[in-house]
């Protein structure tokens, strides 16, 4: 009797593991010539995400489509589980956003700051990740 239970448990776990290993889907809109975006994609993949890269030479129209304000624009726009992730946001912040189920449009790390995932070099000061919302003054989601 014990072996059927073990077999059933192994079967259940075996079915669930491939789903977990598949990663959280990310749709990444990026300039085809941007190496930091490719490096950010590698960072995300190393942290459990499955990144689909979509090259575009008109990123501003993508950012406009997703309602990213100019002051929060980064070097790429990603869509993760319905949230917008703008710029070189570290994977830990994306995971936190997904875990908290925040009622926001998404999060952003403006520009291309040195020391962010995908940008070489050591950061000189803490970097802020902001909520993407309709407010005139962006609120900080977190810092690193």
pLDDT in tens, 3-28: 444 444 444 444 444 444 469 999 99
Task: Output the pLDDT for position 125.
Answer: 95
Per-residue tokens: 6? 């073990």
pLDDT tens per residue across span 50-97? 999 999 999 999 999 999 999 999 999 999 999 999 999 999 999 999
All structural domains of the chain with their residue ranges: 24-143
What DSSP line would sit under 17-78, residue for residue?
HHHHHT-EEEEEEE-TT-HHHHHHHHHHHHTTEEEEEEE-S-HHHHHHHTT--GGG-BSEEE
Whether pTM exceeds 0.75 = yes
| Fold category of 24-143 in CATH | Glutaredoxin (3.40.30)
Instruction: Give the pairing of strands 140-143 and 128-132.
Output: antiparallel
Polymer length of the chain:
144
Contacts of 87 (CB under 8 A, 6+ apart): 72, 73, 74, 75, 76, 108, 109, 110, 111, 112, 116
Task: Output the pLDDT for position 2.
Answer: 52
Per-residue tokens: 41? 């994609």
């Amino acid at each position: 009797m014990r072996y059927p239970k073990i077999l059933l448990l192994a079967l259940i776990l075996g079915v669930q593991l491939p789903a977990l290993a598949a990663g959280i889907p990310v749709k990444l809109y990026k300039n085809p010539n941007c190496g930091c975006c490719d490096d950010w994609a590698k960072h995300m993949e190393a942290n459990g995400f499955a990144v689909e890269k979509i090259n575009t030479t008109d990123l501003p129209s993508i950012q406009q489509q997703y309602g990213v304000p100019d002051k929060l624009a980064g070097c790429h726009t990603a869509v993760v589980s319905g949230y917008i992730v703008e710029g070189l946001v570290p994977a830990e912040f994306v995971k936190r956003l997904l875990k908290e189920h925040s009622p926001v449009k998404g999060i952003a790390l403006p520009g291309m700051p040195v020391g962010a995932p995908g940008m070489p070099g050591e950061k000189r000061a803490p970097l802020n990740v902001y909520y993407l919302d309709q407010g005139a003054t962006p609120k900080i989601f977190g810092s690193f």
